[in-house]
Structure formats: structure tokens, C-alpha cells
Amino acid sequence: MDIRQSDRYARYLKSLGWKGEKAGNANVFIRRLPFFPFLSVIKIQRPTSLDFSALEGLRKKYHAVLTKIEPDRSSLLARSPFRPDNWPLLPTKTLILDLDKITLNKDIRYEIRKAGNLQVTESKDPERFYKMLQETMKIGHWSVPIKREVVNLWQSFQPDNSAILLTPVSGCLLIWEGDTAHYMYAANTAEGRKGGAAYLTLWETLQFCRKKKLKFLDLEGIYDERYPSSTKTWQGFTAFKKQWGGKVVEYPGSFTRRAF
């Protein structure tokens, strides 16, 4: 099961105002339109199976003007009325590290040594992490996530399935379910970039995951040539992530069905 079909992730989306329903075994999320509350949009993320009859009932019940599915495999939507779109909400391509097969090349080792005496510690202060994340996003010219999205994600997986790991100039927010952790947000200030802090943070994150008896770390997104417009600014951190090895996983993308 993908983490986005987990109960904790459902709790997270509900905290942001999404209503949860089921279509077969799949979590379905509905949001009313603010100026037309009798209408709604629906999203379903990484389902492994889907009851289309039940989904159609939900579409009618909530008067959905748009239904969006991001499946784990393309065969799930074979012969369905859903059509590909070019605005995915989730990473369409990612890199998953096997924690038992990590090898550090000389460049990674050099960057970790460059970080010197920086210490990575677990924090219970999402506000501090968010301020660092804001700076990071502005440096990279990426969209800054809403603070509530970041804080609520950490809180929804607390106390045993989320962590914020920080140095004074870098950090990350992790969530996990089953045997896989997800590197959901990473922060690295201008000072951190000069001193190899991102490498140290990820290295210590791997050690943290091993201590939690996890087996894999999903780095949550790399550049996807199928979606050049939405991932064009990802090429820098994609190069960083690929230095660590791992398996590239490609998802089918995003599919929508409109009411008209």
C-alpha cells in the first residue's frame, strides 16, 4: 500500500478540509468548491484497486465537476473514461533507496566531511523547520508550500511515524508507513549549501531510518522528461539525489474526468 492510501495520510488530508470516502478499498477525497459549495472536486492518489461503480456513486452524490486519479499503474484505468492530463499533484517519477545497499561515492564523502561539526538532531519544532524551508524554496525558485500543509503533515503522523531532523542550516521532514520512509520536504539554506549540509542531513536520515528498522527511503520526486514544464526546476536536486544510487520508479501520471 502506498503511504497516500494510509489512514494517517487520510487524517492529514482531512485536517486540510478534505472529506474522506471509500470506493472499494481506495481512499477517495472530496472537497467542496468555496463559492459553489453544492459542487466539488475529487482526488484519488496511488490506489492499487478501484471500484468504479462506487466512484461513480460518489461523483453523483457530491456533484463532482472534476475527478482526478493518480494511480500506481496504468492498467488500473484501462477502458475507463479518465484521460491523461499534464498537471500531476504528486511526483510522477521518484528514486527509492534500499537502506541495505547504500554506498557512498567520493563526492558524497567529501561533502559530508565538509559539513564539519554540524550535528543532526530530531526536533519537535515544525515552525522552525518551516522557516528554513521557506528560505530553501525561494533560493530554488520553487513554490513555497502553505505552512499548514507542512505542520499538519508532521502532526498527522505523530507520534511514531514522522520526524523532523535538523541542523542549524538544513533539515528534512520524514513520514513512514510499513517498511518505507518518505523524504517529504528538505531544507537547505544558503549557508548550508556552501558547507555540504544537505549531504550530511541525508546521510544521517539514512541512519535514522535504519534505527527505525525501515528498509527503504523514497526521495519523493525527481525530474521527469514526460512533464518538463512542471519538473523543469527539479534538475538540480535530481542530480543530488541520483548520487546516492537507488531505483528509479516511474508512475503513469495523472488522469482526470470532467462532469462536462
- pLDDT of 114 over the 90 cut: yes
Q: What is the pLDDT of residue 158?
A: 98
What is the arithmetic mean of pLDDT over 14-43? 96
Q: Label residue 16 by pLDDT band (50, 70, 90).
A: very high
Q: What is the pLDDT of residue 74?
A: 80
In 3D, which of 12, 93, 88, 79 has the Cα closest to residue 50?
79
**Where in the sequence of the chain do the CATH 3.40.630.30 domains occur?**
93-250
Q: Label residue 224 by pLDDT band (50, 70, 90).
A: very high
Q: Which long-range contacts (CB under 8 A, 24 or more apart) does 117-121 make?
A: 118/167, 118/168, 118/169, 118/170, 118/195, 118/197, 118/200, 119/167, 120/165, 120/166, 120/167, 120/200, 120/201, 120/204, 120/205, 121/165, 121/166, 121/167
In 3D, which of 77, 136, 116, 96 has the Cα closest to residue 256?
77
Each residue of 116-132: pLDDT tens digit? 889 999 999 999 999 99
In 3D, which of 28, 87, 96 has the Cα closest to residue 58?
28
User: Which residues are 123's β-sheet partners?
Assistant: 164
Helix (H) or strand (E) holding 58: helix 52-61
Q: Which three cell numbers stand for residue 169?
A: 542550516
Q: Which three cell numbers stand for residue 134?
A: 521557506
- pLDDT of 78 over the 90 cut: no
Percent of the chain with pLDDT over 90: 90
**How many residues does the structure list for the chain?**
260
- pLDDT of 43 over the 70 cut: yes
Helix (H) or strand (E) holding 59: helix 52-61
Helix (H) or strand (E) holding 186: strand 180-188
What is the arithmetic mean of pLDDT over 198-206? 97
Rounded CA-CA distance 194/46 in Å is 37
What is the arithmetic mean of pLDDT over 45-60? 95
Instruction: Quote the radius of gyration of the chain (alpha carbons, Å).
Output: 19
Each residue of 239-255: pLDDT tens digit? 999 999 999 999 999 99
Q: What is the pLDDT of residue 126?
A: 97
What is the arithmetic mean of pLDDT over 126-153? 94
**Cβ-based neighbours of 240, under 8 Å, separated by 6 or more:** 198
Q: Label residue 176 by pLDDT band (50, 70, 90).
A: very high
Residue 116: Cβ within 10 Å count: 10
Q: Label residue 87 by pLDDT band (50, 70, 90).
A: very high
- pLDDT of 1 over the 90 cut: no
Q: Label residue 260 by pLDDT band (50, 70, 90).
A: low
Q: Label residue 140 by pLDDT band (50, 70, 90).
A: confident
Average pLDDT of every residue of the chain: 95
Question: Looking at the domain that runs over 93-250, which CATH code has it been given?
Answer: 3.40.630.30
